[in-house]
Amino acid sequence: MKKVILLLILLVTINNNAQCWETISAGNGFIHAIKDDGTLWAWGSNTQGQLGDGTIINKNTPVNVSNNSTWLAISGGTYFTVGIKSNGTLWSWGSSFGGLVPTQVGTDSDWLKVSAGGFHALAIKNDGTLWAFGQNLRGQLGIGTIVNNYTPTQVGNSNDWQSISCGGYHSAAIKTDGTLWTWGYNLSGQIGDGGISNNRTTPYQVGTGTDWLSVSCGGGSASVLAMKTDHSIWGWGSNAFGGLGIGSTTDKDVPTRIGILNDWQSLQTGFYHTFVIKNNGTLWACGFNTSGQVGDGTNTNRTTLVQIGSDSNWQEAFAGGNHSIGRKTDGTLLTWGYNNNGAIGDGTFINKNIPTAISGACSNLNVAPIVESNKLSLYPNPVQTILTVDNPNSYTIEEISIVNNLGQTFICNVNSKQIDFQKLVDGLYFIKYTINNKVYIQKVIKE
C-alpha cells in the first residue's frame, strides 16, 4: 500500500484588515472589484441595478455590495452582473437577472467560474461541466435552440471545460485538452469558421489546434481574442475600431495572428478596445479611444498595440464599455476612460485618458495577488480522506495552504504529495499555492 504522507497543519488567522484588491471586472459603464477580505465593491452606471447595492443610482466612488458576504468571482455584462460566493453558490443581479440586489441562481453550491456577456452568462462547475443562461436569440447559450432560458442549462454533456468568455451575442470556451470552441452570432466572423454560418447554436471547434491557453470575448463586442501556449496572441471578428490590433479596421473571420511576438502573459478585450500584458509586466492596448479608454494620453483610435505608460508591474487590465480598469502587482487599482456615469470611481464625472489611481498600494504588501488556476492537479474532488497533489510541470511551490469559507488558513508542507482531509469538516475549501511569487487558487469540496 502506497505510503500516505500526512501534512503538518498549522492554524493561522488571515489579516482581515488588509486592503488588497484581488479580483476586478468591467461591465458596460460599471466596475466590480473584490478585496482580499472577500467583500465586493462596485461603482459606475446603475440604471438597471447592475451594481447590486439596492438602488438605480449611479455611483462615482466604490460602494460595498452585500455586506458581510465573501465573494470568489465576479463578471459584469451589459446591464447585469454575475458572481460566485466562496461557498460555491451562484448569484446574479441587474436587468432580467434578479433585480437590484444579488439573487441566488438555483440552489447548487458547486460553481467554479462564471462569465457575463451582452445579455447571457456562462458558468463552469467543479466537475468541469458547462452551463448557460440568459438571452439566446442568436444561439449564444450553446444549447441547440434560440429560445431564451434564464435557468442554468448544461451545454452538451462534456465535463472537460476549463475556461469561458461571453461576448455580445456569442461565446467562447477552452477545454482541458487545449481545444477552442465558439458559438452564437457570426455576423462579423466572431465564430472563426471562415464565415460559413450565420449562427451556431452548439459549440463549434475553431480549427484543430490543441494549444489554446486563454480566450476573451468582451461583454458587448463581436470579436474574440485568444492566446496560445507559445504566448502568441490571435484575434478575429469585428474590427471596426482596430480592437484586433492587426493594423487595420478590417473584420476577420478566422484566427489572425497579432504581431510576431511570443512574450505575452494575458489578454482581455472589451466592447471595442483590448488590453494585453507582456511577461515583463508592461501594459499594451488598442482599439476605440474617443473617451481615452485606451489610456495612452490621447483620444485617437489605435489599430496596433501601443504601450501604456512605462510601468512594468501590471497584474491585469479589463476593457469595459468605454472605460477601463487595471490592477498592479502591489494591489494598486487604476481606472480610465469614459466617466459621465462615474465608472472611473474617483469621485468625479470627468473622463481620464491615462490610468488614474483610485486606491494606493496594498496595505499588506506580503500578500501576493490571487489568480484562479489549475496549475496543479488535485484529486479526487470531491474528497473524503486524502487529496492527492499532482505537479505535472514540476513547478517550484513556495507555499501551499488550505483556506476554509470562514477565512481560516491551514499551512501545509510544500514537499508533500498528499493532503489529509479526514479531520476537516465537510464543505468548500480553497487550496492556495505560491509559484514565482504569484498566488493561485483551486476549489476543493470535502464530503
The grid coordinates listed for 128 are 468541469
What is the band of 115 on the pLDDT scale with cuts at 50, 70, 90? very high
**What is the pTM (predicted TM-score) of this model?**
0.80
The pLDDT mean for the chain works out to 89
pLDDT of residue 362: 61
What 3-state DSSP class applies to 318? strand
| The three three-digit cell numbers of residue 159, written as one number | 465535463
Q: State yes or no: pLDDT of 198 exceeds 50.
A: yes
Indicate the DSSP class of residue 383: B
Category of 78 on φ-ψ map: left (φ > 0), alpha (ψ -120 to 50) or beta: alpha
pLDDT in tens, 377-399: 888 877 888 888 888 778 888 88
Residue 148 has pLDDT above 70, yes or no: yes
Contact 3, 14 (CB under 8 A): no
CA distance 436 to 443: 21
Greater pLDDT, 419 or 235: 235
436's grid cell: 514565482
Q: What is the pLDDT of residue 124?
A: 96
Segment 8-19, tens digit of pLDDT: 222 232 333 335
Judge whether 130 and 161 are in contact, CB under 8 Å: yes
Q: Given a cut of 80, is residue 374 above it in pLDDT?
A: no
Pairing state between β 71-76 and 59-65: unpaired
Does 254 score more than 70 pLDDT?
A: yes
- pLDDT grade for 70, boundaries at 50, 70 and 90: confident
pLDDT the model gives residue 13:
29
Mean pLDDT of 28-32: 97
pLDDT score of 5 more than 90:
no
pLDDT digits (tens, 9 = 90+) for 278-296: 999 999 999 999 999 999 9
Question: Within a 10 A sphere around the Cβ of 300, how many other Cβ atoms?
Answer: 12
Q: Which CATH class is domain 375-446?
A: mainly beta
DSSP summary character for residue 3: P
User: Out of 71-75, 331-335, 407-411, which region has the weakest mean confidence (pLDDT)?
Assistant: 407-411
389 C-beta neighbours (distance < 10 Å), count: 20
Radius of gyration, CA atoms only, the chain: 21
Give the tens place of pLDDT for each residue, 165-188: 999 999 999 999 999 999 999 999
pLDDT for 401: 87
pLDDT of residue 10: 29
**Given a cut of 60, is residue 344 above it in pLDDT?**
yes
Element (H, E) at 432: strand 427-435
Question: What is the CATH number assigned to the segment(s) 22-359?
Answer: 2.130.10.30
pLDDT at 407: 61
Where along the chain do its domains lie?
22-359, 375-446
Categorize the per-residue pLDDT at 29 as very low, low, confident or very high, splitting at 50, 70 and 90.
Answer: very high
Going along 126-245, which residue ranges are E strands? Answer: 130-134, 149-154, 161-166, 170-175, 180-185, 199-205, 212-216, 223-228, 233-237
pLDDT tens by residue, 201-225: 999 999 999 999 999 997 677 999 9
pLDDT for the residue 40: 95
Is the pLDDT reported for residue 420 higher than 50? yes
Of 317, 266, 328, residue with least CA distance to 295: 317
Q: Is the pLDDT of residue 313 over 70?
A: yes
Grid coordinates representing 320? 469595459
Least confident piece of the model among 68-82, 116-130, 131-145: 68-82
Residue 97 has pLDDT above 60, yes or no: yes
Nearest to 122 by CA among 162, 86, 180, 95: 162
For the beta carbon of residue 147, count every other beta carbon within 10 angstroms: 12
Backbone torsions φ then ψ of 431, nearest 5 degrees: -90, 115
Q: Rounded distance, CA 198 to CA 217, Å?
A: 18
